[in-house]
Chain A
Amino acid sequence: GAVVSQHPSWVICKSGTSVKIECRSLDFQATTMFWYRQFPKQSLMLMATSNEGSKATYEQGVEKDKFLINHASLTLSTLTVTSAHPEDSSFYICSARGSSGANVLTFGAGSRLTVL
């Protein structure tokens, strides 16, 4: 079946640094990738939608200059948290959709970010 690899699974960084999270579709081409964020004891929230080769579409309230999304190829999307602060500490998850169907989504395992 379809597999999405997300890396790193956890990362700790100092305040003010930037952190990059990768999301790769291993055995299919992901035409669309979604990035979600989950704060402790809260539901997952969609941050942005990225289509290969075009700019990401961000949800209301998500700062596009802070959360840089690049989807340069059909198998890789990256989320870079720039100048991270403790309030950015969260669980970030990607999901990918291939060309097989609009409703078929495969989730990455998630990345837990802790900003000190």
Chain B
Amino acid sequence: KNEVEQSPQNLTAQEGEFITINCSYSVGISALHWLQQHPGGGIVSLFMLSSGKKKHGRLIATINIQEKHSSLHITASHPRDSAVYICAVGVGADGLTFGKGTHLIIQP
């Protein structure tokens, strides 16, 4: 069973700061997902990665398959980025294993 560790658990930053959230996992995977969960609970899929790097707007996600590690970066952070960010990994056609999430607060 894959163990997914996220850090930090909680992060408070000022608007405009560069944010990094880390995720490490224990077993080889076929894909890693970064998800955003808002206070109401709804989940938005931000990225799905199997290698390299992806960028969408102010969000950047990277993955190092050899080191079993991924990072999610937010540039020019904004209060509306405040949410829980969840890393989830999958192997083949199986369901996902989730990290515990990083609770991000961006203060104006």
- Nearest-neighbour CB distance to chain A for B65, whole angstroms, equals 14
A32 to B90, CA, bound (A): 14
- The digit string for B29-61, where 1 denotes a CB below 8 A from any CB of A, is 011010100001111110010100000000000
A107 to B95, CA, bound (A): 12
* Residue B72 at the chain A interface, CB threshold 8 Å: no
Q: Find chain A residues with CB under 8 A from B50 CB.
A: 103
- Nearest-neighbour CB distance to chain A for B32, whole angstroms, equals 9
* Residue A98 at the chain B interface, CB threshold 8 Å: no
Interface residues of A in 24-48 (CB under 8 A from B): 32, 34, 36, 38, 42-46
A109 to B42, CA, bound (A): 4
Q: Find chain A residues with CB under 8 A from B41 CB.
A: 38, 91, 93, 109-110, 112
* Residue A82 at the chain B interface, CB threshold 8 Å: no
Contact A46 to B92, CB < 8 A, known contacts A103-B31, A103-B48, A112-B41: no
Please classify how large the interface on chain B is, using the bins under 10, 10 to 19, 20 to 34, 35 or more.
Answer: 20 to 34
Number of interface residues of A (CB under 8 A): 24
A43 to B30, CA, bound (A): 21
A46 to B100, CA, bound (A): 13
A110 to B38, CA, bound (A): 11
Contact of A34 among B40, B43, B95 (CB under 8 A): B95
Q: Are B90 and A107 in touch, CB under 8 angstroms?
A: no
Q: Find chain B residues with CB under 8 A from A106 CB.
A: 45
Which of A34, A59, A105 has the most chain B CB atoms closer than 10 A to its own CB? A105
A residues apposed to B, CB below 8 Å: 32, 34, 36, 38, 42-46, 49, 59, 91, 93, 95, 97, 102-107, 109-110, 112
Can you add 13 more A-B contacts, CB < 8 Å, to A42-B100, A44-B98, A93-B41? A43-B98, A44-B86, A45-B98, A46-B95, A49-B94, A93-B43, A97-B93, A102-B30, A102-B92, A102-B93, A105-B45, A105-B48, A109-B43
